[in-house]
Amino acid sequence: MESYRDYHAFLEKHSFWRHQLEFDNVPDIGSFSNFLKRIGTSDFEQLFQVVVQQLIDEGFLNLHMIAQDGSILEANLDDPEAGWGWDHIKKEYVYGYKIHVTVDTHTELPVTLSVTKAGVHDSKEFNRLYTRVKSYNSRFPTRCFTADKAYDSSSIRKTLFKDNVTPVIKASKTRIKPNYPKKFLKRYAKRTSVERFFSRLKEYLDLKKLQIYGKNNVLIYSYIIIIGMLLMGYVNHCFGFSPRSVKTFLRRFT
């Protein structure tokens, strides 16, 4: 649902969800907006981290090998907080925001998240997201980090080596074409897990173009959707289905 008005209409129509949410009467539209402003982004971030930690404790998520990337979400041109950025997939400049995530390459589900203007380089969010990955308690700490050439920098490699993490990142600029070993290429192929995550995020959860305004609202909206993806993945897993299949969940459980 892209607006408070849609959500209000949904609750008026479906008494089951009104009772589940313990609403005697459907709140007015302004109440939803005021509620999100009162909570703020920090509480949604904390909720996201709690869910991720619980799923790590359950053995569902694994931080042993992670992949990181960013993807542009197109916004409305009259959103003053968005910015222009180059979309290497569309091969054009797009006005909007960029969502940066780190995913568990096995489940292809995110363990960290941030939102910036579209023009922010992917590598700029490395330290923020990597620090959050290290904040989780896990029996299997990160030992392998993979990302595309945008993350090829000496500072990123030094940070990873310091923590005994192997960087699986192709060189961005070389005079001679590198001859990568098979083991490296096999690990590097896992990088596409984050690309597939973005594809599902935009295709099935309607994030091709944002209908909301402001960075904080986009961040809250992203947290809500991604927490939902984590829970959908866990439900799929419990019933023996792929944790990556949003389509399976929607078909079987909604």
Q: How many CB atoms lie within 10 A of CB 43?
A: 13
- In terms of average pLDDT, the best of 32-36, 151-155, 208-212, 214-218 is 151-155
Range of the domain at 100: 59-253
The tens digit of pLDDT for each residue in 178-217 reads 889 999 999 999 999 999 999 998 887 677 778 888 999 8
Q: Give residue 1's pLDDT.
A: 62
Residue 41 lies in a domain: no
Residue 167 lies in a domain: yes
Q: What is the CA angle 14-16-21, rounded to 5?
A: 100
CATH number of domain containing 196 = 3.30.420.10
Residue 165 lies in a domain: yes
Q: What is the mean pLDDT of residues 118-122?
A: 96
Q: Give residue 40's pLDDT.
A: 81
Residue 46 lies in a domain: no
The tens digit of pLDDT for each residue in 95-111 reads 999 999 999 999 999 99
Whether residue 2 has pLDDT greater than 70: no
Residue 168 lies in a domain: yes
- Give the total number of structural domains in the chain: 1
Cite the DSSP H helix spans in the chain: 4-13, 15-20, 29-57, 126-135, 154-162, 182-188, 192-204, 215-238, 246-253
Whether residue 92 has pLDDT greater than 80: yes
Whether residue 13 has pLDDT greater than 80: yes
Residue 35 lies in a domain: no
The Cα 201–Cα 205 span in angstroms is: 5
Q: Give residue 204's pLDDT.
A: 72
Q: How far is CA 15 from the centre of its chain?
A: 31
The Cα 221–Cα 87 span in angstroms is: 21
Instruction: Categorize the per-residue pLDDT at 90 as very low, low, confident or very high, splitting at 50, 70 and 90.
Output: confident
